[in-house]
Structure 1
Amino acid sequence: MSTHSTPPLQQRVSTRLRATHGLTVTSFATLPGGHSGLTYRVETDGGNFVVKAVPEGQRAIGRHDMMRQAAILSALADTDVPVPRVVEIDPEEPAWFAMELVAGESLEPVLDNPPVRPDLAAARMVRAAEILPRLHAVDHRRIPGAGEVLSPADELRRWTRTLRAVPPELVDGGEKLLALLTDCIPEGVDPVLVHGDYRLGNIIAGGDEPVALIDWEIWSIGDPRVELGWFLVFADGTNFPGVGREVAGLPSAGDLVAAYTGTSGSGLPEMTWFDALGRLKMAAIMGHNLRRHREGRHHDPDQEKLPDTISRLIDTATELMAGKR
């Protein structure tokens, strides 16, 4: 069916929820802040939901592949990984799915507003590290559409491409860091299901307890240390000068790794490399966003706050890698 003959999304959602669940839509509003597809808050006479949809005219690939997101959420429904319940899936293009609206708070303590109370931020971060093994214990072989397994070398190649797509002056020192990472790529461990953007900003919490892990647009099968290294970036507000804040009492990287492994030791080899990789990834993403702003592709003056953070991430990652030698 062509997009010209497809009813508007609100009409499609309303019709499907009434036909399948006997629900009447009373409100249909855009949810701000999403970066993958279109996201809406949908209120009905029988409960509230979140609808995620492929933008009109966009191909359903990558971050816009709503069916892939719906598939992983559905696959995790019978596990102990906290995820929203999917209530409806419509594969007709442009595809969409609806999931329950989970009550709670999803805030990144070092970046988001309003600020999270320091003791609550610390407790949430430890609990997030403690429940991450539940996700990594899921049998990924039973999940359809997972794609290829990504090794540490694959991850480094991916982010090397991203970094090198940014003008070098925006990511000064990036090539030196890439060389240090390339010189000692760790051997992979048994692959697991990884969320891809695991951090408190993507975890809805009730108090200090995680109640729903959201934003599954880049899930994959890969090395668990890649996931943990990314999570560690957000445990230190000094990583984000000019754009973030320091939060007193947040757990250290060692504390979070220990919470993940359940041991007093690290229990994970080569975590320094993955900590540095996480910083490289964030620097590459921020460099890409700054480039888009300066080229006029996405005007956002706040992007001009990023250079100090990009430098800090590259410098501290380089220091970590130099310390390994």
Structure 2
Amino acid sequence: MSTLTEVTRLAGRVRERLAALHPGEPLGDLKTLPGGHSGLTYSITAGHASYVVKAVPPGQRPVGRNDVLRQARVLRALAGSVPVPGVVAVDEPQPAWFAMEFVTGEAIEPVLDDHRLDASLCRTRMLALAGVLRGLHRTEARVPGASEPLDPTAELDRWSRTMRAVPPELRPGAEELVERLAASVPAGLPPVLTHGDFRLGNALCVGARPAAVIDWEIWGLGDPRTDLGWFLLFTDHRNFPQLGREIPGLPTEEELLAAYLDGHPAPPAFDWFRAMARTKMAAIMGHNLRRHREGAHHDPDQERLPPTIAAMIRTALDILG
């Protein structure tokens, strides 16, 4: 069956469900929404309302990033406790899909994206988002079908494998870094709901307010320090040589951590997780660069990554002392 036929059938299913929610109101066409990182992402209107539809790609299994129903479950569980788009329809027959509210806002990563936002606004948004992360980690929401929690050892194993699949010349110092992390793995904290890629670039903001956290493809149960270390990584453009842009006045890691803690004590062994976040970033970038050079995914922009990969490894070693 052709992809066009599959999309036509999907559009029919979506329009049928939305018509029931908006009787007598005009329905728009299902349009591809650029910028999605997994599955298929579309937009559609129904009357005066706008929705985003995420669907499993034709012919692919609903696993990993393509498991859109898993994303729908966490969004529904978090409704009312964390700002997320509201889910309005879920359709489980394959290819599965769900529809959520279209939230208007800007998703901009200040130190990496090309933008003209005022520096003070970037600072305010980032500090506000620290409170959202705190709320996520404190939520008592229970999500059906959540996988087993990842402890620090499992997190290190995962990204060590990714790192070691990168050619050694692209990851100078990585073996020493992995060995030092493995020699000092801290005890895990009680698992919480984690986003997996929590940062300002994955939050739709309206003015200074985070209106919705998006891109829940890799949510899970895990150590809260994993999310927190990743979030703090994006405060300083110097972490991203040849990629980052200087934004005067952005919160320092210490300020962002204080905003997250809100007067509570700092978590133990947090430097290990700061180093782990840099290890993860270096592994991801090295993986992407390797795929480009091997021809699996042509993207000349990946050639800008080596200085940042090296800096991530170097600063992670510095953090570990």
* TM-score above 0.5: yes
Give the aligned partner of residue 132 of structure 1.
133
Distance 2:122 2:20 in 1: 42
Secondary structure at the residue paired with 1:286? Answer: helix
* 1:290-319 Cα distance to aligned partner (Å, 9 max, x none): 111111111111111111111111111111
In structure 2, the partner of 1:120 is 121
Q: Corresponding residue for 1:164?
A: 164
CA distance in 2, matches of 1:146, 1:55: 22
Please give the per-residue CA displacement for 1:178-231, whole angstroms capped at 9, x wherever unaligned. Answer: 111111111111111111110001111111111101110101111000000000
Partner of 2:43: 41
1:20 CA drift (Å): 4.3
Q: Is the 8 A contact 1:17 1:24 kept in 2?
A: no
Tell me the CA shift for residue 45 of structure 1: 1.9
Computed over aligned residues only, the root mean square deviation of the Cα atoms, in angstroms, reads 1.9
TM-score, normalisation: structure 1:
0.93
Alignment of 1:186-201 (within 5 A): 186-201=186-201
Q: In structure 1, give the amino acid aligned to 2:317.
A: T
Counterparts of 1:110-259 in structure 2, within 5 Å, are 110-140=111-141, 142-259=142-259
The corresponding residue for 1:85 is 86
Percent identity reads 55
Is residue 130–residue 259 contact of structure 1 (8 Å, CA) maintained in 2?
Answer: yes
Question: Counterpart of 1:131 in structure 2: which amino acid?
Answer: V
CA positional deviation for 1:3: 9.1
* 1:266 CA displacement: 5.4
Q: 1:70 to 1:174 in 2, by over 3 A?
A: same
TM-score normalised by the chain length of structure 2? 0.95
Q: Distance in 2 between matches of 1:10 and 1:25?
A: 11
Bigger mean CA deviation after superposition, 219-228 or 11-20: 11-20
| Residues 59-102 of structure 1, C-alpha deviations (whole Å, 9 max, x = no match) | 1001000000001101112x321010001111111111110001
Unaligned runs of 5+ in 1: none
The one-character-per-residue Cα deviations of 1:131-152 (angstroms, maximum 9, x if unpaired) are 2111111225x32111101111
Shift of 1:9: 2.1
Aligned residue pair count: 319
**8 Å CA contact retained: 1:50, 1:98:** yes
Whether 2:94 is the aligned partner of 1:106: answer no
Partner of 1:269: 268
Q: Given that residues 235 and 250 in structure 2 are in contact (C-alpha distance below 8 angstroms), is that contact kept between their aligned partners in structure 1?
A: yes
CA shift in 2, pair 1:105/1:4, >3 Å = closer
Residue matched to 1:294: 293
Code of the residue aligned with 2:251 in structure 1: it is: P
Show structure 1 runs of 4+ deviating over 3 A. 1-7
* Mapped partners of 1:209, 1:172: distance in 2: 40
